[in-house]
């Protein structure tokens, strides 16, 4: 059976999107016939924040949908940085294998002109720049979102080229051959298909170059410690000393992102990180749901690439009402990343301001599991409910815009947030994931 899965993984991650979807259809047939999936445990779990090859990840949208299904999830959401290039594929692959899907994008915005201007918000690299997510984009609005993000990516790549040059000036001192942005960085992205290029692409190319020169294993560790002055703990040392480690370059990338990226990082400007109000207005115009991405003070990072650091917790009581005033409809967060006390406080403030709560754990490394048991804690039952409401919102709004959850013309616009979530979640749970478009018939 492992051979069957390996063959599916290969096809689902094929460079050609059409071959990926053909494989997804094949996987669906195998699932329905009972030839695979007998060992699968349906957990009822959900994850609305999975990155794919269209920003940075080892997984295509098709493979993401299948791996999420295989892990027992009932719903999965694509959430690429500055890109919706994989949204249609995720939807089609989800239908094929029988898992509900949502589509959105993650973007950085300028908070200038707001009550929190100039502060460190939820971005480890840039004060005054915040991460936000645009969730639940109706299908007919995907081309509009792609056009909106195109100039953002153009500006980002100007900065990416400059960062690569800044990195090369450092590499000369370490006798590491320089990186060529086009052949070493751009070539490992999906920019030609509408994907984005991030600092992770630069770091992945750098990780490969270091391994080529220093040698995987002990050589890389010596280079990091002696040449770059990076301290490695026992766990990372063990992982990087093993040249057979299947996650080697993702582990090395994590080290470089945390300890080396600041040495050549160039701050983005407002041409790349648009004003927050502009992005919120755009989201509303498409029927999507703009959500602030809560980070909170960080202790231990689940992806290993964020150091312990303080973020918005000291002024959260001021921030959440400001988000509501700005036009945000939701707050999204990752239960494994924060303490229960942090999330209880956040949830209380969201309920006070009638902000929807959406969960998700960012998947962008081969080391991460698609399953996240923390989400199944009864204390987070409202996050499962909100996911099904999000799914119903996206599918209903794809049929008719007035059914978008926060649309002014929504038939239930006067109902409380809790009541609307319950109504939409009911539709989402009854929806057939292989025929999601039929949800409109429930109305």
Task: Tell me which residue of 224, 215, 223, 260 sits closest to 242, measured CA to CA.
Answer: 215
Helix axes of 87-97 and 17-32: crossing angle, nearest 10 degrees: 20
Please say if the pLDDT value at position 257 is more than 80: yes
DSSP assignments along 360-398, one per residue: ---B-STTS-S--GGGGSGGGHHHHHHHHHHHHHHHHHH
Residue with tokens 């209880």: 344
- The answer to whether residue 441 scores a pLDDT higher than 50 is yes
259 has a pLDDT exceeding 90: yes
As a whole-number percent, the residues of the chain with pLDDT over 70 amount to 98
Measured CA to CA in angstroms, residue 123 lies from 102, 126, 298 at distances of 24, 6, 11
d(CA 236, CA 250): 11
- pLDDT attached to residue 308: 77
Q: How far is Cα 5 from Cα 27, in angstroms, rounded to an integer?
A: 9
- Looking only at the bridges linking them, the beta strands covering 289-293 and 45-50 are unpaired
For 193-197, what is the mean pLDDT? Answer: 98
- Note the pLDDT tens digit of each residue in 121-154: 999 999 999 999 999 999 999 999 999 999 999 9
| Confidence check: pLDDT of 442 > 50 | yes
Q: Which residue has the higher pLDDT, 303 or 35?
A: 35
Query: How confident is the model over 314-366, as pLDDT tens digits?
Result: 999 999 999 999 999 999 999 998 999 999 999 999 999 999 999 999 999 99
How sure is the predictor about 307, in pLDDT bands with cuts at 50, 70 and 90?
low
Per-residue model confidence as pLDDT tens digits over 52-106:
999 999 999 999 999 999 999 999 999 999 999 999 999 999 999 999 999 999 9
Q: Is 244 helix (H, G, I), strand (E, B) or coil?
A: coil
- Lowest-confidence region among 186-190, 324-328, 370-374: 370-374
pLDDT of 212 higher than 90: yes
Confidence of residue 303 (pLDDT cuts 50, 70, 90): very low
Distance CA 32, CA 19 (A): 20
- Tokens for 132? 């936000």
Least confidently predicted of 172-176, 271-275, 279-283: 172-176
Cα(355)–Cα(83) distance, integer angstroms = 25
Mean pLDDT of the chain: 95
pLDDT of residue 250: 96
- Report how far apart, in Å, the C-alpha atoms of 2 and of each of 6, 14, 123, 181, 244 are: 6, 18, 40, 38, 20
| Rounded mean pLDDT, 364-390 | 92
What integer pLDDT is reported at residue 1 of this predicted model?
60
**pLDDT at residue 306, as a whole number:** 52
Encoding tokens for residue 97?
């294998």
Q: Which two tokens stand for residue 149?
A: 């993000």
- pLDDT tens, position by position, 39-55: 898 889 999 999 999 99
| pLDDT per position as a tens digit, 8-23 | 999 999 999 999 999 9
Q: Indicate whether 399 pLDDT > 50.
A: yes
pLDDT confidence of residue 302 = 45
Q: Output the pLDDT for position 415.
A: 97
């Amino acid at each position: 059976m492992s051979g069957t899965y390996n063959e599916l993984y290969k096809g689902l991650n094929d460079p050609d999107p059409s071959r990926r979807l053909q494989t997804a259809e094949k996987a669906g047939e195998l699932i329905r016939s009972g030839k695979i999936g007998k060992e699968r445990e349906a957990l009822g779990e959900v994850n609305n924040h999975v990155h794919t090859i269209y920003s940075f990840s080892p997984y295509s949208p098709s493979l993401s949908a299948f791996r999420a299904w295989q892990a027992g999830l009932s719903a999965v959401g694509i959430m690429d940085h500055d890109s919706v290039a994989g949204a249609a594929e995720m939807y089609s692959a989800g239908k094929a294998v029988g898992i509900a899907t949502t589509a959105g994008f993650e973007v950085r915005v300028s908070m200038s002109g707001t009550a929190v201007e100039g502060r460190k918000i939820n971005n480890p690299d840039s004060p005054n720049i915040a991460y936000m997510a645009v969730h639940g984009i109706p299908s007919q609005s995907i081309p509009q979102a792609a056009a909106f993000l195109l100039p953002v990516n153009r500006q980002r790549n100007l900065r990416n080229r400059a960062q690569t040059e800044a990195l090369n000036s450092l590499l000369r001192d370490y006798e590491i051959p320089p990186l060529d942005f086009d052949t070493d960085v751009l070539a490992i992205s999906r920019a030609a298909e509408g994907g984005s290029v991030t600092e992770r692409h630069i770091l992945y190319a750098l990780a490969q170059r270091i391994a080529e020169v220093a040698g995987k294993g002990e050589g890389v560790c010596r280079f990091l410690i002696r040449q770059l002055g990076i301290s490695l703990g026992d766990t990372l040392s063990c992982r990087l000393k093993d040249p057979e480690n299947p996650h080697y370059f993702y582990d090395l990338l994590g080290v470089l992102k945390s300890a080396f990226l600041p040495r050549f990082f160039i701050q983005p400007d407002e041409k790349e990180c648009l004003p927050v109000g502009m992005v919120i207005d755009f989201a509303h115009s498409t029927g999507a749901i703009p959500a602030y991405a809560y980070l909170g003070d960080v202790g231990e990072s689940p992806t290993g690439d964020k150091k312990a650091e303080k973020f918005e917790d000291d002024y959260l009581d001021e921030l959440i009402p400001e988000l509501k005033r700005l036009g945000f409809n939701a707050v999204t967060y990752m239960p494994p990343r924060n303490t229960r006390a942090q999330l209880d406080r956040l949830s209380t403030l969201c309920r006070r301001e009638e902000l929807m709560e959406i969960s998700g754990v960012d998947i962008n490394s081969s080391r991460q599991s698609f399953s996240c048991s923390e989400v199944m804690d009864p204390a987070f039952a409202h996050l499962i409910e909100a996911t099904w409401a999000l799914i119903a919102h996206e599918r209903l709004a794809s049929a008719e815009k007035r059914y978008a959850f926060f649309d002014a013309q929504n038939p239930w616009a006067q109902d409380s947030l809790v009541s609307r979530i319950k109504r939409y979640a009911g539709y989402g749970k009854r929806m057939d994931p292989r025929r999601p478009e039929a949800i409109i018939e429930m109305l």
